[in-house]
Amino acid sequence: LALKHDRANDEVQELAALFALGSLGEEEARDFKRHLEDGCVVCQGEVAQFQKVAVALSFGAPGVIPPENLRDSLMTRIGRRPAVVAIPRPSRSIQVGWALAACFALVSVASILMWRGAQSEVEILQTRLAVASERASQLDQVAAVLRNPGARVITLKGQPEAPASQGSVYWDVNGRRWVVEAVLPPAPSGKVYQLWFVTPEEKRSAGLLRTDTEGRAFNAIQVPGDLGQIQAAAITLEPEGGSAQPTMPIYAVGATE
Ligand SMILES: [Zn+2]
């Protein structure tokens, strides 16, 4: 056992519960007792708590019966522990057995709740990290464009269809590359935003812009060599898969200067 515990983990709770019920193996009980005497406040606290529960369950709380499914999983778990010995007092064996099961129910429930709490925290942090990494990589791509001499920026402004929309096209003119970021109303299902190169001759698709849950879209696009003089960039909402020609009203547009 660790010299002192700084928190009640699963092992501590199990040991404390079994110890409080006098159900630890002889050697384990001796070790744990020494550990308590060495002054582990966490374990002392756990034992005190479980002793209270054990007493209440054995003598004063006949109505406490662990739910069926918990009892089953507890028994399986107890069965897996070689250190658990038979309950020593036959006259009270049933009560103590229930108390043991109930204590394990508490331990299990507590463990599951703690585990779930930790899991959801980990998930939230992982999501945040993924978003931050992606954002950092996008900013890198924007910076890479802007480092080029002759880089230009096309500012996209929201149109009456979605006035709050906005975006920027970072244009590496010599490298023939567009890095586009935009904030748009999240696209309805079955629809997708599409970006267009606008020249005097044509409106040619520059690719799709997929919005995340916050309506952010990002894309890096190669500018075709055979394209005429680019006059503007425009974003429209199109059916899933995109269109050959823009069919919907324009959501955001910006002219080259
Ligand atoms: Zn301890």
Ligand 1 centre to CA of 46 (Å) is 9
Measured CA to CA in angstroms, residue 231 lies from 93, 116, 121, 221, 257 at distances of 88, 54, 48, 17, 8
Give residue 86's pLDDT.
41
Angle (CA) 88-92-93 rounded to 5° is: 55
pLDDT tens profile 113-148: 777 777 778 888 888 888 888 888 999 999 999 999
Give residue 172's pLDDT.
95
Q: What is the CA radius of gyration of the chain?
A: 33
Ligand 1 centre to CA of 198 (Å) is 71
CA distance linking residue 57 with residue 100, whole number of Å? 9
Nearest to 63 by CA among 16, 109, 95, 17: 95
Ligand 1 centre to CA of 49 (Å) is 14
Ligand 1 centre to CA of 18 (Å) is 14
Ligand 1 centre to CA of 84 (Å) is 19
CB 244 within 8 A of CB 208: no
Ligand 1 centre to CA of 199 (Å) is 74
Ligand 1 centre to CA of 99 (Å) is 22
Ligand 1 centre to CA of 24 (Å) is 15
Residues 34-61, mean pLDDT to the nearest whole number? 79
pLDDT tens profile 6-33: 888 878 888 888 888 777 888 889 999 9
